[in-house]
Structure 1
Amino acid sequence: MNRTSRPQRPVVEPEGLREAFAEAALDVTPSAVPIAAIERAGRRRKRHRRAAVLGAACGVLLLPLAVVVLREDVASGQGESERVTPPAASAGPTPSPSVAHAGKVRIVTPGERVEVSPGTEIWLTEDGKHWSEPDRPTQFRSVSDGNLDLSSPGVSVQESGHDDVYFLSGIFHGAGEPARVEVRTVAGDIDGTALTLAGEPGWGVWYAEVQVPESRTPSSDSLTGVTESVTVYDSAGGVLASQELAT
């Protein structure tokens, strides 16, 4: 059988291939690079990133404002703000128990010194009242020497002055627990402080300080002083003991 012979392809040498590809490449015209489009896309990506960063920062700044809550007042129709405040600072140390303030009633222990003002102190013992003042010796009034009749209500008064400030004090005695001391003076009415010992001793000490204008200061030869009356009240508002002084 006779076979049909196929035409043989010409053999191309490697050098010929390179030349053929080079000629074909010269006939291809490359398209222009879209530089403007690339730049616009880059700018859009930058804007998106900047907006995301600013949004996160604003969220952090606005977070503390969340403690302010606005609520609608249904009754008035007006909005009112409710602010969350931090806890109040802890209070400072309490005053020393040796300091008593005007207008109070305190139970003290025997010998416990109470500061009335700088340099002036007063204290109680089972036998009476003691007090000291600047540049003066310690003084004492007894409740056991018979000078006071503790079987009936009564109030004693002692006065001393320095410049225009007067220290007023005394012993009161009567049935009941003291709740308030009212002192009437030439400078007006003031509240006194009462000191008592624990239990029911049947007596206590009152004191007060008052500033007296020069025009109302008693003279050295006057038979009257700064105190006009002292009244000690009990918890029910009744008079435990009182004393009117000559005016």
Structure 2
Amino acid sequence: MAEVRLVEAGERIDTGRGNTIWLTADGRLVADVRGETWGHFAQPRTVLGPNVPGTTIDAVSFAEPAGTLYVGVYRGPGRLARATVQVGGVTLNAKVVTLAGGPGWAAFYVDGPPRAGEKARVPAVITLTGYAADGTVLAHTPPVELRR
């Protein structure tokens, strides 16, 4: 099992293909995504804020011809040790990052294969699962259509 990476608030995390994410002290997951399909944001933007309710897991995706970046957060009791993104019948193991000091939330990211469809604009139907270090499921979503 991969280790959870502890990061400082604002520390840039390279997710591949020129994309970066970072966590903020006030509970936001921020992305600076460069993609051939969606272009580069005029400025980095918060993709998931502290408004994710209770014990839950949520994610967004950024599709481009070379692949799809999935980034998400878990908020709730227990420490997230592992997260998976299931899309198109394939389970992707995400990398988990969190701020030091047990802030009560963690972020995860994984770079997956390109999505099918014209310019990768076909919505992805995914399932997210977050696990504790002992394998206990902390949060799980039914299959949902993921927004980009």
Please, what TM-score do these two structures have when normalized by structure 1? 0.50
2: CA distance between counterparts of 1:111 and 1:154?
23
- Structure 1 equivalent of residue 61 of structure 2: 159
2: CA distance between counterparts of 1:114 and 1:219?
24
- Structure 1 equivalent of residue 52 of structure 2: 148
- Structural mapping, 1:37-76, within 5 Å: none
Pick from 96, 108, 129 the counterpart of residue 7 of structure 2.
108
Give the superposition deviation at 1:105: 1.8
Larger relative contact order (C-alpha < 8 A, sep ≥ 6)?
A: 2
Is 1:242–2:130 an aligned residue pair?
Answer: no
For 1:182, what is the secondary structure of its paired residue? strand
Residues 187, 210 of structure 1: 8 Å contact kept: no
- Deviation track 1:7-50 (CA, whole Å, cap 9, x = no partner) reads xxxxxxxxxxxxxxxxxxxxxxxxxxxxxxxxxxxxxxxxxxxx
2: CA distance between counterparts of 1:246 and 1:118?
26
- Structural mapping, 1:82-161, within 5 Å: 103-127=2-26, 128-134=28-34, 135-136=40-41, 137-140=43-46, 141-143=48-50, 147-149=51-53, 152-161=54-63
- Work out the percentage of aligned pairs sharing the same amino acid: 24
Please, what TM-score do these two structures have when normalized by structure 2? 0.81
Letter in 2 for 1:139: R
2: CA distance between counterparts of 1:229 and 1:165?
18
Letter in 2 for 1:129: L
Residues 104, 192 of structure 1: 8 Å contact kept: no
Letter in 1 for 2:86: R
Pick from 116, 124, 128 the counterpart of residue 214 of structure 1.
116
Residues 83, 96 of structure 2: 8 Å contact kept: yes
Structure 2 regions of 5+ residues with no counterpart? Answer: 35-39
For 2:134, what is the secondary structure of its paired residue? coil
- Structure 1 equivalent of residue 83 of structure 2: 181
1: CA distance between counterparts of 2:76 and 2:119?
30
Structure 1 regions of 5+ residues with no counterpart? Answer: 1-102
Give the superposition deviation at 1:190: 1.0
- Structural mapping, 1:224-243, within 5 Å: 225-243=123-141
- Structure number with greater Rg is 1
Of Structure 1 and Structure 2, which has the larger fraction of its residues in helix? 1
- Structure 1 equivalent of residue 37 of structure 2: none
Runs of 4+ in structure 1 displaced over 6 angstroms? none
For 2:108, what is the secondary structure of its paired residue? strand
- Structure 2 equivalent of residue 35 of structure 1: none
- Deviation track 1:122-148 (CA, whole Å, cap 9, x = no partner) reads 1111121111012223111321xxx32
CA RMSD of aligned residues (A): 2.4
Letter in 1 for 2:32: S
Give the superposition deviation at 1:112: 0.8
Of Structure 1 and Structure 2, which has the larger fraction of its residues in strand? 2
